[in-house]
């Protein structure tokens, strides 16, 4: 096993900088997720680790070896692709064993004239059988890819990577081709598999739900830069900037232009359409911004219908009156689109709410879980 380190890693395509001087330390046995919107540079970073793209500058270290000039086959990594990349004319067994059959020992001459295989048939069979048992593929070993479901094909692709027993797994959106139910099931299998094998894994996805549920840590990327790298709940509770706050969480955080004002020794967040009081625990951080424009953030799940029992105490300081525009029942919760003075908010309300479209309701804001961002720099104030 081995850790991975990216040091000032940059990749440019002519005038376009896809990855901009990123630094990332991935610990041994860690499950690291690179997440971000399309075009943020996450797949390019993964391809540089794999050796499929040449870095413009910076270093890639796997274990204790700088691998910038090492060919992909010699980096001791295994990659799982989005589109499975299985050979259609080969059985599951042959697809899983093919890479092992190709590997040759050093000093046996150039490929394809080197006939000295690294692995014996007995060793290849042992690895394939163990991986097939682990992934529930034993009954399918003689089938061709066309005879498999999407989930089964993805497991074959995983098995092909597992048999190599690499130092690092690289996974490029491996679940995006699966339907919703199968995606959840395979996600759970991947988590259990990582716990069992303990192999350092770098996983790329644009789905923040996948990132939150799978990663030991998550690196959120935008415009080729790592905006924040931390544990999932730290990203959720303490986003470093406006981008991370809006990207992590579903539905996305509500953002409202506001001004910090001080009245009678108390700090208020004045959003023009409504005004709420800052809790004392947060006033010290907001105090330097009195009289300045800021962005107020509150997550949909931190808004409550005042008529539904909750742990948040209702006071005039944290209660606003809103119009209910749209209601989307989701079972346990109801997603509501609310308006107040031209502002639109989204709230995840308990399904016990009796609110209907067109109603006016009082909504409580859990100000202890609110967020404030500098309007100019977009960095978090608290």
127 band by pLDDT with thresholds 50, 70 and 90: very high
Residue 112 CA to residue 172 CA, distance in Å, equals: 29
Kindly state the percentage of the chain with pLDDT values over 90: 79
* Averaged pLDDT for residues 253-275: 95
pLDDT for position 56: 97
- Return the closest-CA partner of residue 277 out of 287, 288, 262: 262
Q: Per-residue pLDDT for 196 more than 90?
A: no
pLDDT for position 109: 63
Q: Per-residue pLDDT for 65 more than 90?
A: yes
Kindly state the percentage of the chain with pLDDT values over 70: 97
Q: Per-residue pLDDT for 301 more than 90?
A: yes
Residue 265 CA to residue 276 CA, distance in Å, equals: 14
Q: Which residues contact 209 (CB under 8 A, 6 or more apart)?
A: 250
Helix (H, G, I), strand (E, B) or coil at 112: coil
Q: Per-residue pLDDT for 110 more than 80?
A: no
**Average predicted confidence (pLDDT) for the chain:** 93
Note the CATH number of domain 4-247.
3.40.50.300
Residue 312 CA to residue 314 CA, distance in Å, equals: 6
pLDDT tens digits, residue range 80-90?
Answer: 988 888 999 99
- CATH architecture designation of domain 254-374: Beta Barrel (2.40)
Q: Per-residue pLDDT for 313 more than 90?
A: no
pLDDT tens digits, residue range 331-358?
Answer: 999 999 999 998 999 999 999 999 999 9
Residue 361 CA to residue 197 CA, distance in Å, equals: 52
Sorted by where each begins, the domain ranges of the chain are 4-247, 254-374
Kindly state the tokens that stand for 365: 């804001």
CA distances from 296 to 43, 227, 258, 306 (A): 32, 20, 6, 21
**Sheet order of strands, 293-298 included:** 275-277, 266-270, 254-263, 293-298, 371-374
Q: How many CB atoms lie within 10 A of CB 338?
A: 24
β-pairing verdict for 254-263 and 225-230: unpaired
Q: Per-residue pLDDT for 314 more than 70?
A: yes
pLDDT for position 180: 84
DSSP state of 20: E
Could you please report the per-residue DSSP string of 251-311? SPPEEEEEEEEEETTEEEEE-SS-EEEPPHHHHHHHGGGBTSEEEEEE-GGGEEETTS--S
Whether 34 contacts 219, CB under 8 Å: yes
pLDDT tens digits, residue range 16-34?
Answer: 999 999 999 999 999 999 9
């Amino acid at each position: 096993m081995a850790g991975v380190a990216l040091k000032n890693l940059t990749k440019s395509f002519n005038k376009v900088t896809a990855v901009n001087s990123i630094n990332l330390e991935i610990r041994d046995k860690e499950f690291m997720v690179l997440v971000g919107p399309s075009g943020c540079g996450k797949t390019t970073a993964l391809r540089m680790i794999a050796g499929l793209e040449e870095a413009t500058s910076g270093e890639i270290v796997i274990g204790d070896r700088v691998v910038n000039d090492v060919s992909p086959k010699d980096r001791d990594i295994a990659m799982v692709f989005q589109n499975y990349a299985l050979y259609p004319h080969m059985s599951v067994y042959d697809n899983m064993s093919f890479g092992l059959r190709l590997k040759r020992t050093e000093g046996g001459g150039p490929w394809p004239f080197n006939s000295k295989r690294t692995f014996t048939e007995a060793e290849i069979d042992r690895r394939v059988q163990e991986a097939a048992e682990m992934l529930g593929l034993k009954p399918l070993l003689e089938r061709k890819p066309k005879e498999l479901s999407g989930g089964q094909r993805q497991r074959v692709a995983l098995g092909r990577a597992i048999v190599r027993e690499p130092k690092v797994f690289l996974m490029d959106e491996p679940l995006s081709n699966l339907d919703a139910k199968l995606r959840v099931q395979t996600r759970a299998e991947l988590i259990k598999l990582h716990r069992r094998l303990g192999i350092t894994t770098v996983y790329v996805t644009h789905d923040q739900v996948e990132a939150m549920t799978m990663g030991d840590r998550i690196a959120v990327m935008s415009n080729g830069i790592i905006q924040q790298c931390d544990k999932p709940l730290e990203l959720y509770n303490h986003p470093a900037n406006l981008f991370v706050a809006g990207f992590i969480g579903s539905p996305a955080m509500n953002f409202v232009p506001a001004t910090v004002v001080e009245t009678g020794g108390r700090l208020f967040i004045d959003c023009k359409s409504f005004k709420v009081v800052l809790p004392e625990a947060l006033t010290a951080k907001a105090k330097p911004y009195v009289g300045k424009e800021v962005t107020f953030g509150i997550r949909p799940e931190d808004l409550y219908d005042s008529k539904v029992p909750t742990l948040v105490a209702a006071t005039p300081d944290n209660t606003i009156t809103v119009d209910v525009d749209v209601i989307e029942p989701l079972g346990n919760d109801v997603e509501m689109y609310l308006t107040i003075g031209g502002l639109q908010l989204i709230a995840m309300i308990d399904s016990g709410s009796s609110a209907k479209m067109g109603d006016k309701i009082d909504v409580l804001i859990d100000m202890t879980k609110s967020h404030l961002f500098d309007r100019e720099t977009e960095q978090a104030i608290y």
